[in-house]
Every structure is written in C-alpha cells, then in structure tokens.
Structure 1
C-alpha cells in the first residue's frame, strides 16, 4: 500500500481520495493496486455503508500516468494484457461494489478517470470541469473502461466521444448521464453530503440488492463483465503494440503530431 490513495472513515462513510495531485491523480501501477485494495477493504468492512471517491488537488484524475504509458509503449503484448487486466479488475471492483458509491468530481477527468466516474452509482461534479476520452488520438481505444462508460451514457453518446476524442464540459457530462448533478465548486461538499444523507434511510442489504438488480436489468452481471474485461484487455494490448498504437504513443511522448495527422 502507498499513499497514492488515501482512506478516511467518518462513521459509516468511507472517503477514498486519489492522492497524486502533482500529476493530476494520474494512474500508475501503485495507484491501481492501492485503489483496488482499498475498495476490497471497504467491501469487507460491514461498518461501511457508503463510499465517496474523489481526487486531491485540482483534478479528479487525468487517466494514464506519463511514465506508466512510456513503460507500456515498450512492453510486450502479453505484458500489456496483464497490465490492462489489472485496470479492468479495478473498474470491475468499483462497478460491482456492494456499497453505494458517490463520485465527488472535483476537477478534470480524462480516460480512466472518466471510467471511475462511470462506475459510481452517483456522480456529482463542478461547473467548468473538463472531460475527454482521447485514446483515438494515440491510435488506441478506451477498451477497458468501455463497458462502464457505455452503460453510463449509452451507446450513441459513447460512439461520438470514442471516435472524436473531444473535450466536453460538465454541463454536457450531465446531459448525457455521466454526471447526475453539477454545482459550483464551493457547493460540492454540500451536494455530496446531501447525496449521502439520501442513502441513510435505506436498508444496507436492500441497497446492495437494489444496486445489483439495476445492473442485472441492464444486462450487466459480474460474470459477464469479467468475460468482457478479459476480452477488452486483450484488445488494448494488441493495439498498444500495433504500428499505429506505437506511433501514437511515441508521438505523444515526444510532444509531436502522429503521422496520420500530416
């Protein structure tokens, strides 16, 4: 465990904070491992009724860490697949967590950061926040997070965002269903507290079953999601080592445009 992710308990509420503000809470191996482990801890803790997920500093999460991406660019397809399966396991754990989850979106979210938001039951963000699923600009796709993003915003919106990689704002995120509520920054904590208060009257067993019922009625089961996660991890691994993926990653790391833009 590292301090890349922090856990704070206040009564029956657990708050998990991504704690790499210097790099906008970008993902690396340590953050993925720590967040997965902390989610397992709160899952097993019967005293925890609800979980808030947020970021330290100006951003919620910028997605993949630059150094992590550099390492994956030089890794084999098998190594990339194993790495992607770890991220898939994190998203799966959050999506199917037996406790209600609230994303406190304090700032920008890109790539995997959008995936974390999509996996939460309730998502509240601040005006002015920017979002993007920009993987196509690197010759890649948002494979691992795709089932969760599509479930949150629907296939039509996902198709646009996946193929354009465009940046969109919090108001658009609310319109398409990624965020449930958008508030001024100084009202974010109150909005999250109000959402938490709505949870307390419900029975914890009933809430767990209600959450799984909603997922099941949408065709999502833990077993099927795991199968898709493995399939998507293989897809992104294949694309990372492809000619286009390698060019996109190298162009990004070298701060130049990829050849397909010329």
Structure 2
C-alpha cells in the first residue's frame, strides 16, 4: 500500500510507523509526505492501535527535504510552491493531532523537517551521538512549516539558540533544548522506547486521546491561520535572491556567496 514508509501493529496494539528510504537517509519526498498523512489518519482511527512509534530505517532518522523535490520546487511558480509546502504542513498537523500517543524513536541524524517530526512526537528518545539541526538558512530558506511545532516544543528562548543559525548539535544538546526527552546508547534505545510505551498499555485509550487534545488546546495556538502564515513565509523566501543562490550553490556543490 505504501512505498516510502512501512506500518505495522503488534499484538499489544503498538504500531510502528517507519520512514523507509534508507538509501536517501529517509529524506521527505512529496510522496512520503502524502503517505505519512494517510498513515496518520488511518492509525488515528484504528481502535486496535494504542500507541504509535515513529522511527526511520537505516542510519538516519530523517535528513529533511528530498533533493529532487527541492530541485523541482526551484522552478515552480509561487502557487505551486505553496501547494508543496502545504503537503509538509498537513503531514505535521496529521501527526500532531493524531489521537494516539506518538513516541519518536530517533535512531539517527535528523535535519530540517526531521527535527520538526521529532517535535510533533509526544515524547522522543534519541540515540546518543546523533546529529540534529535546523539547516534551512544555509539554503536561504527558513524553518517555516515546522516552526510552530519547534517553538511549541522548545519555547522561543531555546529555539532561538538554533532556529536561525543552521548549527548542528548532538542528541545530548537536543535533550537540553527539549527536542528529545533522553539520549541513550544505541544498544539501549529499544529498551528506552519500551519504557515509554508501557504506561499507555494500562490506561484508557479514549481518555488518553481526550487528554492529548486538551494539551494541544491549552498549548501554543497552531491553527489554519498559523499554518497559512508559515506557508506564505516559506514561499516568500523561495522567491528571494538568497534562496536562488543557496539552492543553486548546493546543487553546484560550491559555497554560496555568503559562505
């Protein structure tokens, strides 16, 4: 059914949603975004599912946007770019509002949108030594559609330490930034995730869903107006000279004019 992700549920009702493009470091293509959105809706309405674990196949959790997808956007009109940005926004919203506990198993590096995916998880556990970063400004872009979730997780003060600089940081610092709850050795990752799963198997599923919805309601506002604003900001960046230079430099394998 899916080509870029896998979905499976065990006898306990623990579903594993896995990004499955290991040869591309699980970079997000338009197809992957659409499949993730569909999977989130399916898992959210499946009464057999008690908990969802989000992870990636291979060495990387998620490297951000797929290069071919980004290259295609370089030549699009603004309206088309907006449609592509909305695919990412809708995927993040679907995961964020899914009425099931979402546990992130960050088994490798996470950049750009990969950090955004970690931030929509109710709790994320990462492997020690993994590198993370909001790398968009290197390309003359901004972490726009992931921004509301990054700010909701980190708070403005902590977010500003890494939101604009594109600086890479390790999982241990990601804990201090509140992106990850814990960073553990690779051999301890499965056990750490199981510890997060276990409590949800002994509580009322509908109460969990209602409590999660209440937490979202009481937390920072992320509605259609906020999402539309982030999409508009990203489209505006794409139209600017810096994005053209940054994207061209990236594909030409040369430093951009500012670096």
Instruction: Name 1:124's counterpart in structure 2.
Output: 125
Question: Deviations along 1:131-180, whole A, 9 cap, x unmatched?
Answer: 00011111110000000001111111211212211000011000111001
- 1:237 corresponds to which residue? 235
CA displacement at 1:33 relative to structure 2: 0.9
SS of residue paired to 2:162: helix
Distance 1:210 1:44 in 2: 16
Question: Which residue of 2 is the match for residue 48 of structure 1?
Answer: 49
Q: 1:64-115 CA deviation, whole Å, 9 max, x = no partner? A: 1111111111111111100001110000111111100000000000000000
Q: What residue number does 1:259 align with?
A: 257
Verify the 8 A CA contact 1:73 1:241 in the aligned structure 2. Answer: no
Superposed displacement of residue 219, structure 1: 3.3
Deviation at 1:2, TM superposition (A): 3.3
Contact between 1:130 and 1:170, CA under 8 Å: does it hold in 2? yes
Distance 2:158 2:256 in 1: 26
Q: Per-residue CA shift, 1:210-251, capped at 9, x if unaligned?
A: 11222222233xxx4222111111211121121111111111
Provide the residue aligned with 1:160 in structure 2.
161
Whether the 8 Å CA contact 2:159–2:177 is kept in 1: the answer is: no
Q: Which runs of 5+ in 2 are unaligned?
A: none
Residue 207, structure 1, aligned to residue 212, structure 2: no
Q: After the TM superposition, which of the residue ranges 27-36 and 205-214 deviates more from structure 2?
A: 205-214
Q: Which residue of 2 aligns with 1:246?
A: 244
Q: Structure 2: how far apart are the matches of 1:135 and 1:246?
A: 13
Whether the 8 Å CA contact 1:50–1:101 is kept in 2: the answer is yes
Write out the 4+ residue segments of structure 1 that deviate beyond 2 Å after TM superposition: none
Q: Which residue of structure 2 aligns with residue 7 of structure 1?
A: 7
TM-score normalised according to structure 1 size = 0.96
Contact in 1 for aligned 2:95/2:120 (Cα 8 Å): yes
* Superposition RMSD in Å: 1.1
